[in-house]
């Protein structure tokens, strides 16, 4: 089968890499891909949001399955567009993708179905939001309703920061239409955990757990980013929490969606805060996480293509998923200045020497220029290593990362440090 992977980041490189290992995979295409994806497939110069061009390519190249990586095409209805053309595609429909594309839609669905989440209020006018902030306890969380490249969530320490966030979202429109409406929530305390769940509309299967590291600097300091590294399995999840997640989140969520006439078929990525009162849903994403994908897929022993096929066909209840029991640690190498302003076009060296056994380098913000690989984004590379212990995986990942160089390169030195010595479980 010929497979088309849509997107250009580290998540898409990891998806293409894993799909290439399937016995059912023939040619892999990445649209538009990056400087690393030609290692496993062929790049196609079509933007992820050019649906007609992507459909034409799929038809002309006998694509048996298209896999969507980023959130924007899903929110724009790419799955509906492909299916209307009779093409097979992995991902949720536009109506189902509202779980991610509208934080307010997700919040209202959770409220209606009793899914544990933070208390919050919805605002359409800046003045009302500011008035609410002046009567609130801090810290407090302010979220743009729509998609904002993972940057539309601000944790305000005081009224001044809160008002500045409202101003940026609702008046300056820093995130475009995503900030037309906002959600202001209580700030939950605890530890975060990333879950990935394949959902076929009626059944679901959990993938391995992961913990992302969102802050830019060591010690979880600095601004929020798209993710500076990850650990799998998560060291803060257990069988008891799994049972609570099934009962309190997944079952009522699927019932609520089905009652609303929305069939979710694809990958659901709930972000959880593990609080003293149990798991609380921070948000829902409707695609694989980044960098969680880069840390989870190297542990997957099962055939990813077969799992995608079962999801589309509604046969997940007949599948089992096998995992490598080793730990995995991913370290993200970022451009200087990220998540703020940064320069691109910096030559990258050391990629060929930083590949020992059980280490994988996934490209994110890279491109080829005059035969050399150069930086092309904020998060440039993700270095993933497997190890019998978390400590061993960390050591291997950081040793490989230290071999890679580009001007301004920076990365956190404490990814998974808190999990060293933790007991490793399969999920």
Average confidence (pLDDT) per 10 residues, the chain, 427 residues: 98 98 98 98 98 98 98 97 98 97 96 96 96 95 89 91 96 93 95 96 96 94 92 95 96 95 97 93 96 98 98 96 97 96 97 84 97 97 97 96 97 96 57
Q: Which CATH class is domain 2-91?
A: alpha beta
Q: What was the pLDDT predicted at 355?
A: 75
Q: What are phi and psi of 417, to 5 degrees?
A: -60, -40
Domain boundaries, the chain: 2-91, 119-186, 191-419
- pLDDT of res. 276: 92
3-state secondary structure (DSSP) of residue 297: helix
| pLDDT for res 427 | 47
Helix ranges restricted to H, 140-231: 159-166
CA-wise closest residue to 328 among 233, 422, 227, 405:
233
Structure tokens at 22: 């399937």
Question: Are the C-beta atoms of residues 303 and 378 closer than 8 Å to each other?
Answer: no
Instruction: Assign domain 191-419 one CATH number from 3.40.605.10, 3.40.630.30, 3.40.50.11740, 3.30.470.20.
Output: 3.30.470.20
The pLDDT of residue 223 is: 87
pLDDT in the model for residue 54 = 98
Cα–Cα dist 267/69, whole Å: 10
- CATH assignment of 119-186, among 3.30.420.40, 1.10.620.20, 3.30.1490.20, 3.30.230.10: 3.30.1490.20
Q: Which residues contact 230 (CB under 8 A, 6 or more apart)?
A: 194, 210, 211, 212, 213, 291, 292, 294, 295, 329, 330, 415, 416
Using CA atoms, how far residue 96 sits from 3, 115, 352, in Å, is: 23, 17, 41
Q: What is the pLDDT of residue 245?
A: 96
Range 4-42 burial, b when 16+ CB lie within 10 A, else e = bbbbbbbbbbbbbbbbbebeebeebbbbbbbbbbeebbe
pLDDT at 363: 98
Residue whose C-alpha is closest to residue 27's, from 60, 64, 57? 64
């Amino acid at each position: 089968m010929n497979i088309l992977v849509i997107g250009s980041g580290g998540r898409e490189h990891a998806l293409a890499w894993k799909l290439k290992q399937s016995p059912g995979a023939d040619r892999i295409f990445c649209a538009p891909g990056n400087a690393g994806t030609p290692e496993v497939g062929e790049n196609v110069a079509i933007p992820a949001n050019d649906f007609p061009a992507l459909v034409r390519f799929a038809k002309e190249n006998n694509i048996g399955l298209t896999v969507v990586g980023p959130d924007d095409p899903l929110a724009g209805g790419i799955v509906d567009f492909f299916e209307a053309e009779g093409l097979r595609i992995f991902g949720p429909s536009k109506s189902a993708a509202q779980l991610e594309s509208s934080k307010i839609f997700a919040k209202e669905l959770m409220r209606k179905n009793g899914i544990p989440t933070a208390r919050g209020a919805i605002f359409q006018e800046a003045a009302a939001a500011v008035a609410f902030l002046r009567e609130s306890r801090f810290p407090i969380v302010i979220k743009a309703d729509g998609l904002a490249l993972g940057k539309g969530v601000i944790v305000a320490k005081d009224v001044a920061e809160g008002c500045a966030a409202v101003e940026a979202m609702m008046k300056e429109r820093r995130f475009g239409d995503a900030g037309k409406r906002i959600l202001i929530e209580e700030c939950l305390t605890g530890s975060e955990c990333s879950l990935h769940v394949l959902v076929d509309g009626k059944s679901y299967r959990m993938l391995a757990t992961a913990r992302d590291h969102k802050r830019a600097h060591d010690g979880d300091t600095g601004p929020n980013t798209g993710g500076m590294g990850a650990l799998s399995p998560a060291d803060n999840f257990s069988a008891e929490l799994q049972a609570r997640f099934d009962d309190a989140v997944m079952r009522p969520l699927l019932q609520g969606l089905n009652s609303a006439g929305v069939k979710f078929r694809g990958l659901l990525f709930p972000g959880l805060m593990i609080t003293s009162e149990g798991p609380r849903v921070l948000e829902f994403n409707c695609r694989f996480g980044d960098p969680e994908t880069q840390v989870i897929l190297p542990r997957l022993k099962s055939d990813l293509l077969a799992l995608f096929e079962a999801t589309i066909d509604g046969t997940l209840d007949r599948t089992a998923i096998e995992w490598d029991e080793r730990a995995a640690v991913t370290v993200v190498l970022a451009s200087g200045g990220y998540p703020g302003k940064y320069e691109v076009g910096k030559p990258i060296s050391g990629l060929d020497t930083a590949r020992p056994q059980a280490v994988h380098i996934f490209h994110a913000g890279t491109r080829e220029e005059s035969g050399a690989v150069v930086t092309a984004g904020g998060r440039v590379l993700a270095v993933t290593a497997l190890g019998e212990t978390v400590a061993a995986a960390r050591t291997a990942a950081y040793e490989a990362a230290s071999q890679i160089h580009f001007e301004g390169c920076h990365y956190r030195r404490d990814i998974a440090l808190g999990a060293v010595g933790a007991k490793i479980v399969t999920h």
